[in-house]
Amino acid sequence: MSTIVCIIDGMTDTAFRPEDYPTLSSFSYQGAMQPTPAGYGAESLTCILTILGVKKIPRLLRGYADALGAGIPVEVGDLVTRVSWMALDETGRCTLPINASSLAHTPNGCTYYALGGYKGLLVLEGQGSCAEHITAMPPYQCAGNFPAALRPTGCEPLSAFFDQNLTTSHCAVPWGQAAAANLPPFVQKAAVICGTQIVRGIASLLHMDCPVIPGATGDTDTDLRAKTEAALQAAETYPFVLLHFNGSDEASHRKDAAEKRAFIHRVDDLVLPHLYNCPHRVYVLSDHATDPQTGCHVGTPQPVFMKEANDSCGRKESSFFSAFGL
C-alpha cells in the first residue's frame, strides 16, 4: 500500500466549490491545512515543502531549487539568482518582461543559463554568503522604474552583470537570490510525477526520484493520462508518490478563470477516478490559492480530500497529515 499525494497547484480561489467537481467531492473532506508557513509568501516551493513535512525551510532557496530542477550544476557556497529580461521604453523606463536572451555578458565566475520563455538563471561561484545582503527588485515591481533603481546591490559581480547587459532597449534584472543548501532527505523512498521545473527541484532537494514523463508539461496542455499512469505505476514500488498538476495555477496567472475551471474539470474526469479506484491511500489538495481575477497567489488554508487505501488486511497506518492535525 502506497500513499499518493495529488497536488493541483493553485486549485482554489474564492469561487472554488468542491461540489462542482463530482469525483473530487466523492473523496472524504479532511479539514483544512495551512501550507503557507507564517512569515513566508504563498509560493509553490515553500508550500509543497511544508506539505511534505519540511519544518525548517531556508528563506533564500527558490533560485537554487529552480537550478536543481533544470539540472544546472550548483555547489554549496554558490549564489544563484533568477534573471528577468525587461524592455525599456523611449524615456528609458522599464516596461514589460521580454523573452530571456539565450546569451548574456558575464563577469568572471558567473555562468548564465536561458531556461526558455522569460526565465533565465545566473550562478555565481562562491558568492553564496552574499545572498542575505543583496537588494534586488522582483520583475513584478520593475515597471515604471529607471534602470538605476533595478540595479542589484550587495554583491559586486551581480551588479557587474547588470551593468554589462544594460542597453538602451532592455536590461537583465537579477532577483530571487538563493544560496545552495542541503535539506534532509524525504522520510520515505518516494517518486515525484510532475512536468514543472520547480517541483523537479523539490524532488532533487529531498532526494526523491523524478522520472521524465513524455507529454508532461507544467501547464494545461499536460498529458493527464500519462501522468496518472506513471503515478499508479510508481505506487507499485514506492511507498510515497507525489503527483503534481500545474495547469490550474498557470491559467490563474493568465487571469483566465474559464480555462482554470476547465482544467480542474479535466483532472476530475481523467485523473481522479483512477486515483479513487486504486488500492492506495490518496490525498488531493492544493498548495495555495491562485486568484484568476488578480493572477496572484493567496496563502489561505487549503481543503484536504482523502480516500482510504483498499487494504484487504484492514491495516490502519498513521495519517500522512497527522503532523497537521488532520
Positions in the binding site for Zn ion (CB under 5 A): 249
Q: Of 78 and 249, which has the nearer Cβ to Zn ion?
A: 249
Neighbour-count burial for 230-258, b at 16+ CB within 10 Å, e otherwise: bbbebbeebebbbbbbbbbbbbbbeebee
Least CB distance to Zn ion at residue 255 (A) = 12
In the bound state, the residue with its beta carbon closest to Zn ion is: 249
Helices (H), 70-223: 147-150, 156-164, 197-205
What minimum distance in Å lies between the beta carbon of 223 and Zn ion? Answer: 20
In single-letter form, the type of residue at position 35 comes to P
Give the nearest distance from C-beta 124 to Zn ion in angstroms. Answer: 26
Comparing CB distances to Zn ion, the nearer of 251 and 309 is 251
Name the residue type at position 175: W
Residue indicated by cell numbers 481522479: 272
Least distance in Å: CB of 257 to Zn ion? 15
- The residue among 128 and 218 lying less far from Zn ion, judged by its C-beta, is 218
User: Which candidate, 261, 260, 264, places its Cα nearest to that of 224?
Assistant: 264
Q: Which is nearer to Zn ion, 93 or 255 (CB)?
A: 255
Cβ proximity to Zn ion, 40 vs 276, nearer residue:
40
170 close to 179: Cβ distance less than 8 angstroms = no
Q: Which is nearer to Zn ion, 93 or 254 (CB)?
A: 254
Nearest distance, CB of residue 4 and Zn ion, angstroms: 22
Contact 27, 307 (CB under 8 A): yes
> In the bound complex, what is the minimum distance in angstroms from residue 315's beta carbon to Zn ion?
38
Helix 197-205 with 44-51: angle, nearest 10 deg: 40
Q: Is residue 49 within 8 Å of residue 29, measured between CB atoms? A: no
